[in-house]
Amino acid sequence: MLDDLKRFYGPAGEPTVTRPFEQVLWENVAYLVDDERRTRAFTWLKQRIGTSPEAILTSPHATLLGVTGHGILAETFAAKLRAAAAVALELGDLDAIVRGPLLKARRALRRFPGIAGPGADKILLFSHAHAVPALESNGCRVLQRLGLIASIGAYAQIQRAGTELIASELGLDFGRLVAAYLLLRQHGQELCRRSRPLCEGCPLRDRCAYYAALRSRR
């Protein structure tokens, strides 16, 4: 399946933001924006403020709003950036923490605003700290529609089933796990969309339970 997605979309490439604290900032830099706008906000942050906790805590509020204003709720997310910086200073060497014991690394990352279990695992994976499978909502939807994991139930259980499936198929290879995250996310954003999926152009339609059900109703 991933080979088919790779042929269709091209190589997944590598994440552009990999350091743990910068990934936290990436998640909180703007709210309800697409990747292009988030990239602009993050670039603005790096160029005009910096991505160290100290730089964020001492930045003028108006300058932070210039960053978070790329999305909605700018005041709320400016406060989240400062909160993230305060947590980072309290924790100390975050790069070393995430490369330490897995449970401790996850627990530390979940202290940051906007970082729950799936987000913590993505940070661990993208930073090459731990080869853990990671999956977000777009990727979950792809696996659900293919019929590979349950389509109903609590989201945490569905997400866990997805990561367990990925782990069983791909093992502990960083490159394959990162590619799976990126390709499944891209497919969920571009073709296997939440509403009005573009099934006829999908390279996985012949193995997709959702598409088979659609055809049976025609």
| pLDDT tens by residue, 90-114 | 999 999 999 999 999 999 999 999 9
Count of structural domains, the chain: 2
Q: Is the pLDDT of residue 218 over 80?
A: no
Query: Is 217 a domain residue?
Result: no
Query: Are the CB atoms for 78 and 68 separated by under 8 Å?
Result: yes
Instruction: Identify the CATH number of the domain in which residue 76 sits.
Output: 1.10.340.30
Looking at every residue in the chain, the average pLDDT score rounds to 96
72 forms beta bridges with 31
Cβ–Cβ < 8 Å for 132, 125: yes
- Residues 119 and 152: their CA atoms lie apart, in Å, by 21
Q: Is residue 52 part of a domain?
A: yes
The pTM of the whole model exceeds 0.75:
yes
Question: Which pLDDT belongs to residue 106?
Answer: 98
- On whether both 161 and 105 belong to a single domain, the answer is no
On whether residue 191 sits in a domain, the answer given is yes
Last residue of one domain, picked from the residues 126, 146, 181: 126
Give the residue numbers spanning the domain of 115: 20-126
DSSP alpha helix (H) spans, 147-173: 155-170
Domain assignment of residue 113, yes or no: yes
Domain co-membership, 154 together with 96: no
